[in-house]
Amino acid sequence: MSPPGLIRTLRRRSWLLLLPVFTIALWWAQQERIGSVDEVFPDGTLTIGIDPSYAPFGSIMDDTFIGIDVELGKAVAALLGLEARFVMVNFDSAFDAVRTHVADVSFAAIRAADVTPADVSYTWGYLNDGLLLISDDEIDSGWDLAGKHVAVELGARGHAEARRWSRRVRDLTIVTFESAELALRSVTEFVVADAAIVDAMTARQYADQIAACCHADYLTAEFYAGAVSADRHDVLYHVNNALLVLLNDSTIDRLLTEFIGPDPAARAP
């Protein structure tokens, strides 16, 4: 097509030039604008789903909710300038409570799964309950477990992780115990194993004993997180902003230390 022909065609089809403009305008109009805290929570309250059957995350004492999730909910609400209102959920209904907008967010010791349930979004994680490798100074990582005896709770996550490492390094011997506590103490007290692989919740309870003899390193990361309805991006945005502040100013770390114990991996050996 010659240049004059092209110009004629463009003149005739000049409306085509408006198409990209319309497309961008349409895309722009569909972009969700996140409202301010006052707009998102017009009644000034943050409604939080709590499972009071799972201490230390949630329980009831003298008709009052107590626990990590309760304190976390209060801290998030305070940071947003809202009043915290708690509704009781159980583990099975923690997601339903946010899907049906009975609660703005559920803090119910929910372990963020690899596959996010439909209609639900997870907040930032507030507790890493991954697996810790507890050992003496000779063992810095899983790669140093060759030829070592590793204590685990029979059938638990630590057992599965030890089986994985047994395929990666030579001559790793897995020693099973009936509980994670016993597996841990087999290293810190009884000294019958070279290392233990236990969940962070158990390890936090024995942080002092671990610090006295050993050091701890995370082998996996498995986070507890809040749940928000997937159609409430605005709630998720504000709750996540508050959680980031609480993570950065160590509020959450203090809470976890108070209710469970300090993170052994964060301590100098």
List of residues contacting another protein (CB under 8 A)? 1, 54, 91-92, 95, 109, 113-115, 117, 153-157, 159-160, 163, 167, 176-179
Least separation in angstroms between residue 11's CB and another protein is 18
To 10 degrees, what angle do helices 251-259 and 233-248 make? 80
Least separation in angstroms between residue 205's CB and another protein is 15
Q: What is the DSSP letter of 54?
A: B
The residue among 104 and 153 lying less far from another protein, judged by its C-beta, is 153
How far lies 116's CA from each of 48, 112, 121, 177, 227, in Å? 20, 7, 7, 32, 10
Least separation in angstroms between residue 152's CB and another protein is 9
The residue among 152 and 235 lying less far from another protein, judged by its C-beta, is 152
CA distance 148 to 80: 50
Q: Dump strand ranges (E) for 89-238.
A: 105-111, 120-128, 131-135, 149-153, 173-177, 195-199, 215-218, 223-229
Least separation in angstroms between residue 124's CB and another protein is 19
Least separation in angstroms between residue 113's CB and another protein is 6
The residue among 112 and 213 lying less far from another protein, judged by its C-beta, is 112
CA distance 210 to 11: 79
CA distance 93 to 192: 43
* Phi, psi for 217 (deg, rounded to 5): -135, 140
The residue among 41 and 57 lying less far from another protein, judged by its C-beta, is 57
